[in-house]
Structure 1
Amino acid sequence: METRKFEARKLLKDRRFWVASFIIAWAAALQGHMMWLQRQDSFKQKFGDLNPESDNEKAADKQ
């Protein structure tokens, strides 16, 4: 049991462990963000822009 505590403490002090954990967390967050953007795009393609006033403002700005 003592050897496992020692190994866990050694692992938590190891910088490579924290770098690898950070990279894994960053990659998971990036993948989640990309999935969210994809859902937003598919929603816009399916239902269009739900704020018609923004189209009118854009058209007025162009004139």
Structure 2
Amino acid sequence: MGNFDARQLLKDKKFWFASFLIGWAAALQGHMMWLQKQDSFQKKFGTVSQGNDIDEQA
């Protein structure tokens, strides 16, 4: 196993680019999951404005 030098790794631009890319991809994945959850909630319960329209008709 080679000698691991953390200081050299922190200076490496490739390391920071890869870290940024992984973080961005994880954030995008989380955002897409959140949007999907919001969409399924909206399909199940409808929106607030739709609920108010039903109340006004009754």
- TM-score normalised according to structure 1 size: 0.71
Please list every run of 5 or more consecutive structure 1 residues that lacks an aligned counterpart in the other structure. 56-63
Instruction: Tell me which protein shows more helix as a share of its residues.
Output: 1
> CA-atom RMSD, angstroms?
1.9
- TM-score normalised according to structure 2 size: 0.77
Please list every run of 5 or more consecutive structure 2 residues that lacks an aligned counterpart in the other structure. 54-58
Q: Number of residues paired by the alignment?
A: 51
**Cα distance in 2 between the residues matched to 1:41 and 1:52:** 15
Match of 2:18, SS?
Answer: helix
For 1:1-63, what aligned pairs fall within 5 Å after superposition?
Answer: 4=4, 7-52=5-50
Give 4+ residue runs of structure 1 displaced > 6 Å after superposition. Answer: none
